[in-house]
Structure 1
Amino acid sequence: MPSVAIIGSRGYPSYYGGFETLVRRLAPYLADAGWDVTVYGRPGLAADDPDRDERVRSVITPGVESKKLSTLSYGLSASSSAFARHPDVALVLNCANGYWLPILKARGIPTVVNVDGIEWERGKWGRSARAVFRGGAKLTARFADELVFDAKAIGEYWQQNFGRDGEFIPYGGDARPELPVEPGLTSGAYALVVARFVEENTINEFADAAERLAADHDVVFVGSSGYGGEIDQRIERLAAANPRVHWLGHVKDDLRLHSLWQHAGAYFHGHSVGGTNPALVQAMMLGAPIIARDTVYNREVLGGSGLLVAPDAGLIAEAADRLVRSPDLRALLGGNAKARAEAAYTWEGVCDRYESLLWAYATGQARERVRADVRAALPGLLGLPAAAEQPEPAQEPVERTVEAR
């Protein structure tokens, strides 16, 4: 039975963000495929979560729970624990954990790293934090055995800036039958935003737009900063002053969140830094009519199935008002978004690609492939004529020791 350690999320099961969504889907999938799965996490996870798969081992390690130190401190303690446990392969989430890859390499544990977005471009970080993230990225480029990019544009960035290629594996979404409408709301009659309350998610601009929209429509905010702050306080004041503005905070219940997307008259996706965003993919899978901030990442994911706007409150309000008032346009955009998600962003496809990649490194097949690529390229690198091609000897198929899906 191959073993994998997953490092860098808040744990299993957790409902905090994109990495946590990935882990909730991937960990049970790997267990189904016969893997011994360990997910490292932080204190505070609910032990009685009904969605927990008991086959997935959850290991809590110590760390500093703060905005600047949590990722690094928990990454260090998780990597140290994995060093002792010695799994066949480690899936590491977030290139900030590049500082700890030498620990795993010293133990001979191959590492597959999902680099996440371009963290050092996020407005929430100061100069020192951005330098830390960029340093982690450089170490990831140096020490990781394999990189995973959740968007093609992220892969291009890493190739241009760090000279590393990798595998493109996005996020997936869940299809749902029609769900009941959130109490107090009317299907198709409200504008919705689902995001962490940070500047690069265009929350302030949407809040400005909400003040205009709330004259005629309900407006729903889902999310928070996670640490409190000015944006949280602003949304709280906005909701207190206008009964048409609803702040639901962080919604842990997937069915409730999916219902909000499914019945939205307009969903605004303002994320500007990062690759394929799980919230956007999930909204597409549920047929939400989408308005997205115009970025290379959102254009890549939507593929023309949503409206793109600049980060301007007037433009956001105008697009949302247009959608809420137009059932035909909502149906067209929602149908196109759902079709694209079903073709390109299913969890089955995402998890299968991760499992295949992890299997290659756990069994050493990936290393043999790299050695073969180097041997083939060596004559050209040395300026020598290429060797004459010889037919490859027949090889016995490699038997997998896990039950085929």
Structure 2
Amino acid sequence: MNMKKLFILGIRGVPAQHGGFETFAEKLALYLKDRQWQVTVYCQEEGSGDNWSSTWKGVQRIHIPVKGSGAASTVAFDWKATQHACKQDGLFLTLGYNTAIFNFLQRLAGQVNIFNMDGIEWRRDKWGIIAKSWFWLNERAGCWAGNHLIADHPRIKDHLATRVRPAKITTIPYGAERITEANPALLEPYKITPGNYSIIIARPEPENSFLEMVRAFSMRKRDHQLVVLGNFSPEINPFHKKVIDAASDEVIFPGAIYDASIVQALRFYSRFYLHGHRVGGTNPSLVEALGAGCAVIAHDNHFNRWVAGPQAAYFSDEAACAALLDQILEDESGIKIMKSASRERFDEQFTWDQVMLDYERLLSAWHP
């Protein structure tokens, strides 16, 4: 039997260094490799010169050097990766649609390309009109260029079904690890103790309700701490400054933390995980919070409600968030119920084993 071949495009490479899609690609590549697939991942490198190849844990890598490290360099990398992919034989998985217009080359070449369409990027507040137009155009391009589409949330599928027929879309959510223990000593540098703090982990952007959550927490003294993870630059970003200025002395800003064991411990020992995302599908950080058994307080929208389930607590605005904190911050029995419900929701929908199995079934069905 011929070995199945998969090429993964749309990310910066493996091992993961840049967030959700890279983590997913790493998991999927290693999973399929162990099941006798030949997996190749395109990797972005800073520099110039010719492409080169390497192997990482049995996964093939095509390294493509491009000048710079910003958005323009990523577009250049995607263009070069697509050109290279057009000359290969196998199945293709493209993660995200940010440069999907390039993938028409693969469709014209008769290749089979599956797209994970990610979230509705052009709706995000942070983008200007040019960027929003580019993402809107490429979302359309991905719908047309892809042979089949993957949505990570039922509402993303509903959205995509306004572009293509529903039979062209399969819903498979993001996954995470189940965290059942963590080292409490990892909390000591932040001068916090298990159960005596709550946490926010997200990019500090307006659409993630940072200001509303920090203001709501800081409305009065709570004898509790709020740890806000994220890369803040108040000297150059007015929104970041506004968030920090709104914080009481019970709010801690330790910056962005990339050590997975520390982040896991911070989630695991928190009293509440606050999730303010208003746009997107299945958010990786929210899934990771469920996997750690966090009691979840989330912005009230259909994306978060499907992921976190009915036992999470939801707020619509700053006042509602403050009222929630007043009501449930000290409710030990309620917190216990919420934590248990998070684990149940995670186990029924978001384990990596189930996500990987669903991907393998879909990719096997489409392999040429």
Which TM-score bucket, shorter chain as reference? 0.7 to 0.9
Instruction: Report SS of the residue matched to 1:77.
Output: helix
1:99 Cα offset (Å):
0.8
- 2:122 alignment counterpart: 120
CA-atom RMSD, angstroms? 2.5
Q: Is the 8 A contact 1:284 1:338 kept in 2?
A: yes
Q: In structure 1, how many angstroms separate the alpha carbons of the residues matched to 2:315 and 2:309? A: 14
Which of 299, 302, 305 is the matching residue for 2:305?
Answer: 299
Is 2:40 the partner of 1:7? Answer: no
Aligned equivalents of 2:311 and 2:73: distance in 1? 37
Pair member with larger Rg: 1
- Summarize the Cα distance change of 1:65–1:202 in structure 2 as closer, same or farther, 3 Å threshold: farther
Identity among equivalent pairs (%): 29
Q: 2:331 aligns with which of 301, 326, 338?
A: 326
Conserved 8 A contact 1:62-1:77: no
Q: Structure 1 residues 54 and 356 mapped into 2: Cα distance closer, same or farther (>3 Å)? A: same
For the pair 1:19 / 2:25, whether they are aligned, the reply is no
Q: Contact 1:235–1:247 (CA<8 Å) still a contact in 2?
A: no
Alpha-carbon separation, structure 2, partners of 1:318 and 1:148 = 38
Structure 1 residues 281-360: aligned runs within 5 Å:
281-310=287-316, 312-360=317-365
* Number of equivalent positions: 352
| Preserved CA contact (<8 Å) 1:198 1:225 | no
Tell me: CA distance 1:64–1:315, structure 2 relative to 1, closer, same or farther (3 Å): farther
Deviation at 1:144, TM superposition (A): 0.6
Q: Which amino acid in the other structure matches residue 122 of structure 1?
A: R
Report the equivalent of 1:229: 237
Alpha-carbon separation, structure 2, partners of 1:10 and 1:214? 43
SS in 2 for 1:14: coil
Say which of 153, 173, 178 aligns to 2:176. 173
Task: Label 1:358 to 1:169 Cα distance change in 2 as closer, same or farther (>3 A).
Answer: same
Distance 1:250 1:26, change over 3 A: farther
For 2:38, give the aligned amino acid.
D
The aligned counterpart of 1:79 is: 82
Greater fraction strand: 2
Deviations 1:46-98 (A, max 9, x none): xxxxxx952123333244656653553332122122224x1411110112231
Could you tell me how far apart the structure 2 residues matched to 1:53 and 1:179 are? 28
Map of 1:203 onto structure 2: 210
Tell me the SS of whatever aligns to 2:102: helix
Matches of 2:129 and 2:349 in 1, distance apart? 37
Q: CA deviation at 1:218?
A: 1.0
**Residue pair 1:265, 1:323 contacting (<8 A) in 2 also:** no
Structure 1 distance, partners of 2:20, 2:221, is 29
Is residue 290–residue 346 contact of structure 2 (8 Å, CA) maintained in 1? yes
| Rounded Cα–Cα distance in structure 1 between residues aligned with 2:243 and 2:56 | 36
- Paired AA for residue 220 in structure 1: V
Establish whether residue 248 from structure 1 lines up as the match of residue 254 from structure 2: yes
CA contact (8 A) 1:276 1:297 kept: yes
1:188-214 superposed Cα distances (whole Å, 9 cap, x missing partner):
211211111222111222232343366
Q: Which runs of 5+ in 2 are unaligned?
A: 47-54
In the alignment, is the contact (CA less than 8 A) between 2:179 and 2:293 conserved in 1?
no
3-state secondary structure, aligned to 1:207: helix
| Native 8 Å contact 1:271 1:293 kept in 2 | yes
CA drift at 1:250: 2.5
What displacement does 1:163 show? 4.1
Task: Provide the secondary structure at the position in 2 that maps to 1:282.
Answer: helix
